Amino acid sequence: MSTDSSTANSTETEVPCTLDTCPLSEAIITYQPNIGGNAFFFALFGLLFLVQLRLGIRYKTWSYLVAMLFGLILEVVGYIGRLQLHNDPFNFNFFLEYLVCLTIGPAFLTAAIYITFARVVYSCDERLSWIRPKIISIIFMTCDFICLVLQATGGAITSTSGGMSREAEGMRQTGVNIMIGGLSFQVVSLFLFILYAVIYAWRWNAATALHYHQRPPKGQMRRSLVFGLAIASVTIFVRCAFRVAELSRGFQSPLANNEVAFMTLEGTVVLIACLCLTLGHPGLCLDIAWKLPGQVPRKRQYAVSNVDLENIHTRE
């Protein structure tokens, strides 16, 4: 009799929690993700994926295309995970699907920003930059790669540490800590990029003010691109800072379980960034070949004279 009873108890403990058998407070996240809101983000990111695919093929901006497609497909998969969590918030696999994909995705979007900024510098005047355009791409893409490796490693450790034992909990926390490290590094590198971009923009505006008494010719579309890159950079920076704060306080913290904050500071700001990177697509806004100098002949006339450059240096 006692053997049968213990067997029954053992069987009961192996039954996974559902909304019918366990309270929502025992779920991985203590709320059911909103179907409408997450479906909205899923649909828009999916649509932007198709638009980016079309524009990338048309204008042959291959590196930009790859970065944007990886970022957008991760956003799509991440919101699929959140939709699945609505009916089963106890499912660890669905949780990982959303956590890892939405954490890693923006790293590819920042890669697209870095790639495009290097082309903007070359299109405007690379002499106004302290660093050559190609080196700018290498430096910040390397930082982005480090962020991506840390976040992916943390996600892999978290995904392989199932169970409720103390060891499994410790491994999960280690994985989360590594992801926080990757996000923190992304915040720092993105801040340095924004700072450098602001300095270059100031130097460019000062130089063009000396050379032209009005906007430089053919500059309107390029300015739109730069404006879009600025908004995308700031929004992703805000998002990364939010995710660091969210993950550092644990999955059971009030911030981690505040869906309004998540949908605003994760979903909305990343969507704004993707819209800017799509509407301000470099194929639409740049009038130069996509390949950087060293790969194509550099035969063009700079908009700013050497005298103007000397004046800029004097002002500094």
Share of the chain above pLDDT 70, in %: 83
Among 8-12, 110-114, 139-143, the range scoring the smallest mean pLDDT is 8-12
pLDDT per position as a tens digit, 150-205: 999 998 888 776 666 777 778 888 988 999 999 999 999 999 999 999 999 998 88
Among the listed residues 34, 49, 48, the one whose alpha carbon sits nearest the alpha carbon of residue 82: 34
| Residue 21 · residue 15 · CB < 8 Å | yes
Instruction: Give the whole-number percent of the chain exceeding pLDDT 90.
Output: 59
Place 38 in a pLDDT band, splitting at 50, 70 and 90: very high
From the CB of residue 162, how many other CB atoms can be counted at a distance below 10 Å? 13
- Is residue 276 within 8 Å of 231, Cβ to Cβ? yes
Q: pLDDT tens, 296-306? A: 444 444 445 55
Amino acid, res. 47: L
- CA torsion sign for 7, 8, 12, 15 is positive
Q: What pLDDT, on a 0 to 100 scale, did the predictor assign at position 162?
A: 64
Query: What are 296's strand-pairing partners?
Result: 293
Residue 140, CA distances (Å) to 72, 94, 145, 179, 258 in order: 20, 32, 9, 19, 32
Q: Please count the other Cβ atoms lying within 10 Å of the Cβ belonging to residue 76.
A: 20
Rounded to 5 degrees, φ, ψ at 229 are: -65, -40
pLDDT recorded at residue 1:
46
Span 70-125, pLDDT tens digits = 999 999 999 999 999 999 999 989 999 999 999 999 999 999 999 999 999 988 88
115 near 71, Cβ under 8 Å?
Answer: no
